[in-house]
Amino acid sequence: MKHLVVVCLAILVTVSAAAPAYPNLNPKREDESPFALAKCIGDPRTRAFYLFSTSVGNYTVSTGGLVEVYVGNRKKYFPVKVGANSRIERLYFLEHEGDLLLLYEAGKSGYLVRVNQATRKVKSTTAINEDFEPPLVKDHSLTFTDGTVVPLN
């Protein structure tokens, strides 16, 4: 029994010594998109809500395009574009220079919406391919896998 304890202790010391002192448990690779997938509650084909948080507040987005943001104990609303008879089917988000970037698929279209988080006003809406993969940020632009480039200026 003593030999087993000594062997287990030796293995533990060896593994601990080989591991870095402060490992980065979730490193972001350069070829990985900084957009995060929002949590979906419900079924996007019928009725669902997407939930996420930023440094400004907690957001809830309905599949119909109504965005609700809770800042402290106050609630504000603003709409985002969703095509006629369409619903948001997946949603990604990213904070960039104080703005909120929403990237979502709605029906046969994809949209990239930039929102001023302080005023909750939509600054821009860009239609993109519905089959998008979350883009990379390169040279102050979003670069999609299909070659689409959207400037962030």
Is the pLDDT score of 68 beyond 60? yes
147 against 31, higher pLDDT: 147
Q: Classify residue 3: in a domain, yes or no.
A: no
Is the pLDDT score of 15 beyond 50? no
How many domains does the chain contain in total? 1
CA distance 132 to 104: 9
Q: Classify residue 5: in a domain, yes or no.
A: no
Which amino acid is it at 101? L
11 against 72, higher pLDDT: 72
Domain span at residue 39 reads: 34-151
Query: Which CATH number do you get for residue 99?
Result: 2.40.128
Q: Classify residue 16: in a domain, yes or no.
A: no
Q: Classify residue 88: in a domain, yes or no.
A: yes
User: Across the chain, what does the average pLDDT equal?
Assistant: 84
pTM of the entire predicted model:
0.78
In this predicted structure, what is the pLDDT of residue 2? 53
Q: Classify residue 94: in a domain, yes or no.
A: yes
Secondary structure of residue 116 in the 3-state scheme:
strand
